[in-house]
A = this chain, B = another copy of it.
Amino acid sequence: MFYSINQLVISMIYTNELKYDNGLIQAIAQDRNSKEVLMSAYMNKEALDLTIETGIAHYWSRSRQKLWKKGESSGHIQKVFEIRIDCDKDSILLMIEQEGGACHKGFRSCFYRTIEGDVVGQKVFDPEDVY
């Protein structure tokens, strides 16, 4: 547990005030030490409440239409140390510690390519060994 009971109660109230779009809010995961942006995904209120309760990042998978504990199959979980919200309350930023890699392609960050197609990210595992 990374959140105290007191923080938890406050946060659980606060999650009601966020601006969900069709029930979803965008969540950005940033490595709290290196500051690398690791991924961007969506949460529904249940995923956010679970993230706060457990200290482990949960998201909503739009492709699979289900709640998704990040790293459930790969072991590459994300421990959440702080959650920030933006001025419009329609986007959240998770300060995390990432086990292994955030990207299912084996990279530390999902943002491993430039728009020109150059690979600039660090490969940290072989997806064939993990999935």
Chain A residues engaging chain B, CB cutoff 8 angstroms:
7, 10-11, 14-15, 26, 28, 30, 34-37, 39-40, 52, 82-88, 91-93, 103-105, 107, 110-117, 120
Contacts and interface: CB of A to CB of B under 8 A. Distances in A.
Contact of A113 (B40, B85, B105): B85
A110 B83 contact: no
A114 B40 contact: no
Give the number of copies in the complex. 2
B28 A114 contact: no
Contact of A112 (B11, B15, B87, B110): B87
A30 B37 contact: yes
B40 A85 contact: no
